[in-house]
């Protein structure tokens, strides 16, 4: 088209030149020819520039869709891996109770959002008389779960890849696609996880299915263009979702992304003729307009092309920023703890936290976890806001986890984090951080404060700021020697941590919330209620004023260890594990366990005769145990002393249990309070 236009322009110029030989006319011919050449050059430049811009836009759109698909897939793979790990832990507790395996699989599959199947396959002959034992639960709807043993000679699961990989890999592993003819009855990929016995030997493999039908459904959301196609390949190159045959379709553009958790690759193919269809159509229209008015068209094409390019760039930039902010917000939220209370197996800790960013994404963070009976926790505030602050926040959280996994001294953890942040601090950003390590066995708190707001401690019913050394924030000086401090917490003490988004919150009159108002609002509440109360106070104080900074709060309660037991003699062995966890002296472990077993057994036999109920055992340092139940009134201390000089035939039945308790403990007392039996055992140290 462009060559034809140029030929027509040249022919018209030659006709004009033949009709007149005047100098001005000849100048006009040259003006027309030069204008045609310039217009052609501009047209070519616009064409290839637009072509490159469209290709880049297609790449950005494809990558955005791929990232969305990757996040969607990761949500399901993470859920499957979590289900596999949880089910493996449940099965480990019931290795000697095959009937409980059925209930474990039902509980695990009912907790999953999608309809799927999961199974536990034991090594052959693990249970006598059952050479093949594979319990499978399939979820067809919220209220429809089908559980059965699918292991048999016809279904030899030991030949399947997911089962064999369970013996090779010590964590979650994704196998290649296969048709599951016994469980999901469809094409699936499976996540497997080993189950160990008490000797550390693999005795079973957990398998969680992810249906390929779900993965194929993602293609409807990846239609960047009407005829674009999509595929997923495994780490070994096997098709999980098959790619449409591109033979005979001409040139095409391929975009792909790797899913880190599984090693899969997602691909999108866009035909080139469809990619540039609009561009070619516009070229024809421009050609017609060039014939109608060359001079006018030069200005229109130049002006429209320039604006069009700016519009494309601005639109692409805004869309990219919006997509990246959405992805960053999802990733950032996934990094923060969201399950409260976080440690259902620990009664000595109660924690709650929240982050309320001022924009789509923020620079505040908090994190915590328990390792070797020690609570590692931190709270931080990155300078600035938006994407750069969020990236530093993500890096800080990762550095906290990685460095505290092998180190227990807070000042050393902070030093390593600081060096890493300085090395990667191209934006010259810094952050304040408070990092603590709480020994749950004795209440000793070691902490290091890097320029952060001093936390507040409630002990003996009073709130006060804890002393902090004015260390530098992180990301400024790589060799700064951070100093640690120590504090002794007592049971039922509370620690409240916050960022300056709390104290520097402004109302419509530009007044600050301030530390004085904060201290006045702190109350004796549970961590959840305390954080929610302070959040409500800040919201009420701001009134209609916009939030000016990220708001982050975290509350920790170091509470009295206790054990809640069902009225079931089978629960008695849990006392020994609980006693070991609260850290009493080794020489007292065995006698205390014996005394508590006898006392709790008495409660179960006499306070709840043949009925259901609960027994609550509470420990108070230095060595006091309180046993509480809601059963019928029963005072074991009224039992007469046993005459141990009599023979077994001469002694009356009963009384030996409380006799043994009296021999071990220094004080044994009973009271009936609030319709409850309260038995107190004291050992003097």
pLDDT tens-digit profile of 581-592? 666 777 888 999
Please tell me the CATH superfamily of domain 56-294, with its number.
PAS domain (3.30.450.20)
Burial of residue 142 (number of CB atoms within 10 Å: 0-12, 13-18, 19+): exposed
pLDDT of residue 609: 78
Q: Domain 562-682 class? A: alpha beta
Contacts of 176 (CB under 8 A, 6+ apart): 161, 189, 234, 236, 238
Tokens of 27: 């100048």
Tokens of 253: 């553009």
Q: Which residue has the higher pLDDT, 158 or 257?
A: 158
Measured CA to CA, the distance from residue 136 to residue 152 in angstroms comes to: 13
pLDDT of residue 570 exceeding 80, the answer is yes
pLDDT of residue 344 exceeding 80, the answer is no
Residue 178, beta-bridge partner list: 188
Measured CA to CA, the distance from residue 246 to residue 271 in angstroms comes to: 9
pLDDT of residue 574: 85
**pLDDT band for position 211 (cuts 50, 70, 90):** confident
pLDDT of residue 646: 46
Residue 520 near residue 341 (C-beta atoms within 8 A): no
pLDDT digits (tens, 9 = 90+) for 3-12: 555 555 555 5
Measured CA to CA, the distance from residue 573 to residue 582 in angstroms comes to: 15
**pLDDT band for position 27 (cuts 50, 70, 90):** low
Q: Select from 93, 100, 171, 109 the least CA-distant residue to 144.
A: 109
> Mean of the per-residue pLDDT values for the chain?
82
Q: Which of 9-13, 368-372, 636-640 has the lowest mean pLDDT?
A: 9-13
Residue 592 near residue 579 (C-beta atoms within 8 A): yes
Q: Tell the residue number behind the tokens 């616009």, with chain if given.
A: 46
Tokens of 23: 């100098």
**pLDDT band for position 64 (cuts 50, 70, 90):** confident
Cα distances from 405 to residues 153, 172, 399, 521, 545, in angstroms, run 45, 20, 10, 36, 42
pLDDT of residue 647: 44
Same topology for domains 56-294 and 562-682, yes or no? no
Task: Find the angle CA(404)-CA(409)-CA(414) to the nearest 5 degrees.
Answer: 65
Q: What's the rounded mean pLDDT across residues 511-521?
A: 93
Residue 449 near residue 434 (C-beta atoms within 8 A): yes
Measured CA to CA, the distance from residue 309 to residue 391 in angstroms comes to: 31
pLDDT digits (tens, 9 = 90+) for 414-423: 999 999 999 8
pLDDT of residue 291 exceeding 90, the answer is no
Please tell me the CATH superfamily of domain 336-558, with its number.
PPM-type phosphatase domain (3.60.40.10)
pLDDT of residue 297: 57
pLDDT digits (tens, 9 = 90+) for 488-498: 998 778 999 99
Cα distances from 107 to residues 73, 112, 203, 365, in angstroms, run 23, 9, 21, 33
Q: What is the pTM of this model?
A: 0.45
pLDDT of residue 303: 67
Q: Tell the residue number behind the tokens 């639109």, with chain if given.
A: 315
Q: Where are the domains of the chain?
A: 2-55+295-331, 56-294, 336-558, 562-682
pLDDT of residue 25 exceeding 80, the answer is no
Measured CA to CA, the distance from residue 389 to residue 358 in angstroms comes to: 12
pLDDT digits (tens, 9 = 90+) for 75-125: 888 888 899 999 999 999 999 888 999 999 999 989 888 888 899 999 998
């Amino acid at each position: 088209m462009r060559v034809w236009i140029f030929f027509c322009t040249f022919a018209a110029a030659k006709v004009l030149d033949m009709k007149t030989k005047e100098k001005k006319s000849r100048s006009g011919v040259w003006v027309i020819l030069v204008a045609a050449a310039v217009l052609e050059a501009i047209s070519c430049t616009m064409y290839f520039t637009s072509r490159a811009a469209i290709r880049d836009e297609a790449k950005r759109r494809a990558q955005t869709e791929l990232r969305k698909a990757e996040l969607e897939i990761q949500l399901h793979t993470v859920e499957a891996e979590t289900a596999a790990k949880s089910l493996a832990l449940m099965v480990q507790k019931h290795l000697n109770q095959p009937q409980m395996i059925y209930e474990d699989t039902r509980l695990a599959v009912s907790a999953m959002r999608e309809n799927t199947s999961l199974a536990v396959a034991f090594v052959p002959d693990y249970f006598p008389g059952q050479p093949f034992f594979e319990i499978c639960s399939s979820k067809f709807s919220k209220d429809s779960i089908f559980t059965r043993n699918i292991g048999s000679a016809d279904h030899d699961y030991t030949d399947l890849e997911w089962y064999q990989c369970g013996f090779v890999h010590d964590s979650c592993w994704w196998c290649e696609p296969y048709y599951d003819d016994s469980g999901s009855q469809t094409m699936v990929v499976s996540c497997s996880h080993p189950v160990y016995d008490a000797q550390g030997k693999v005795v079973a493999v957990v398998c969680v299915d992810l249906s390929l039908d779900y993965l194929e459904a993602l293609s409807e959301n990846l239609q960047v263009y009407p005829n674009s196609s999509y595929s997923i390949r495994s780490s070994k190159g096997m098709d999980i979702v098959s790619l449409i045959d591109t033979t005979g379709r001409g040139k095409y553009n391929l975009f792909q992304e790797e899913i880190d958790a599984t090693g899969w690759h997602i691909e999108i193919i866009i035909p080139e003729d469809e990619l540039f269809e609009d561009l070619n159509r516009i070229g024809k229209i421009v050609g017609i307009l060039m014939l109608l008015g060359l001079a006018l068209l030069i200005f229109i094409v130049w002006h429209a092309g320039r604006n069009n390019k700016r519009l494309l760039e601005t639109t692409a930039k805004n869309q990219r920023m919006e997509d990246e902010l959405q992805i960053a917000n999802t990733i950032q939220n996934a990094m923060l703890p969201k399950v409260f209370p976080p440690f259902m197996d620990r009664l000595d800790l109660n924690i709650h936290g929240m982050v309320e960013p001022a924009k789509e994404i923020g620079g505040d963070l908090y994190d915590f976890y328990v390792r070797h009976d020690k609570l590692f926790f931190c709270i931080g505030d990155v300078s600035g806001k938006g994407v750069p602050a969020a990236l530093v926040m993500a890096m800080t959280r990762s550095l906290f986890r990685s460095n505290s996994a092998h180190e227990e001294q807070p000042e050393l953890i902070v030093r390593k984090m600081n060096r890493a942040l300085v090395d990667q601090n191209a934006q010259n950003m810094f952050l304040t951080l408070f990092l603590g390590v709480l020994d749950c066995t004795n209440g000793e708190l070691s902490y290091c404060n890097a320029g952060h707001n001093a936390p507040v401690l409630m002990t003996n019913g009073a709130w006060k700021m804890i002393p902090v050394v004015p260390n530098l924030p992180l990301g400024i000086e790589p060799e700064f020697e951070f100093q640690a401090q120590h504090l002794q917490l007592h049971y039922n003490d509370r620690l409240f941590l916050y960022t300056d988004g709390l104290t520097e919150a402004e109302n419509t009159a530009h007044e600050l919330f301030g530390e004085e108002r904060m201290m006045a609002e702190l109350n004796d509440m549970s961590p959840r209620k305390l954080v929610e109360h302070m959040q409500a106070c800040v919201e009420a104080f701001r009134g209609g004023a916009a939030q000016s900074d990220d708001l982050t709060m975290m509350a920790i309660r170091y509470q009295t260890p206790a054990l809640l037991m069902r009225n079931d003699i089978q629960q008695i062995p849990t006392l020994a594990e609980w006693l070991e966890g609260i850290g009493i002296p080794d020489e007292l472990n065995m006698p205390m366990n014996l005394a508590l077993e006898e006392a709790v057994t008495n409660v179960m036999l006499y306070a709840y005769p043949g009925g259901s109920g609960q027994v609550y055992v509470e420990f108070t340092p230095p060595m006091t145990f309180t046993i509480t139940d809601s059963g019928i009134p029963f005072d074991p201390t009224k039992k007469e002393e046993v005459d141990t000089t009599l023979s077994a035939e001469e002694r009356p039945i009963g009384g030996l249990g409380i006799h043994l308790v009296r021999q071990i403990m220094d004080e044994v007392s009973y009271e009936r309070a609030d319709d409850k039996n309260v038995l107190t055992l004291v050992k003097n140290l």
